[in-house]
Amino acid sequence: MMVGMRAALVQLASVTDASENRSRIAARLGRVEPSADLIVLPEAAMYDFGSPTDDLAAVAEQLDGPFVEFLHGQAKTRGATIVAGMFEANPEGHPFNTLVVVDPDGLRATYRKVHLYDSFGYRESDRLTPGAIAPVVVDVAGMRMGLMTCYDLRFPEMARLVVDAGADLLTIPAAWVAGENKLHHWTTLLTARAVENTVNVLAAAQSAPRYTGHSLAVDPMGLVLGEAGDDDETLLVEVDFDSVAAARDVNPSLANRRIR
């Protein structure tokens, strides 16, 4: 019997109302399988990006603010670790696009998005500040989880940096904007990051129509463990503890590298 970590990828569409988002998330988490060790919510779960002219500084929160406090309560209730995206207040400029990792004991780690989405006609850097280039890896339920956010996925060197820091699981919350070829890019890049790094990948996305949906879990050989559709959905997947070692035994591409 496979022994592993049970993860729930909660696909939902946030709105520009932080209180409403907390209520929606609470309702969704109330329906998550109680055996889940890890619950992953999308990027910007706290508050949606809104229009390109919306002032995200006006809605950004501190790391001890209502959203993280809410997640801590949910984590204690469910005995799980929760990963979610928020806008973090920054007294020195635009807010950060931040992932928080919260467990029953409180805030475990944060990751500030490095690559801001200045692409496909959009300029995230007009409203947000990039984080420092430093890998964030956290021990969760027997695995080493590395964090990335959405547009980071398009930069293979980012995933490799996190894997070189010890991650055997990449967790990637996203609000992957819908559009021509975008779903193809999303699923292809997630699979590539799993295969080229021989790691598990868990990606929780915001729902259609603004975003692509299709939250995805991929194992280190590129096999799909679960995929959502366009709309609100929760995927429950089991990540095999032995899958990374088994994949690297067959495909030792990291050990065979000549360029570092």
Residue numbers annotated as active site = 43, 113, 150
Tokens standing for 219? Answer: 């194992």
CA triple 59-44-36, angle to 5 deg: 130
Kindly state the greatest CA–CA separation across the chain.
Answer: 52
Pairing of strands 81-88, 38-40: parallel
Question: Can you give the length of the chain in residues?
Answer: 260
Three-class secondary structure assignment of the chain:
CCCEEEEEEEECCCCCCHHHHHHHHHHHHCCCCCCCCEEECCCCCCCCCCCCCCCHHHCCECCCCHHHHHHHHHHHHHCCEEEEEEEECCCCCCCEEEEEEEECCEEEEEEECCCCCEECCEEHHHCCECCCCCCCEEEECCEEEEECCHHHHHCHHHHHHHHHCCCCEEEEEECCECCCCHHHHHHHHHHHHHHHHCCEEEEEECCCCCECCCCEEECCCCCEEEECCCCCEEEEEEEECCHHHHHHHHCCCCCCCCCC
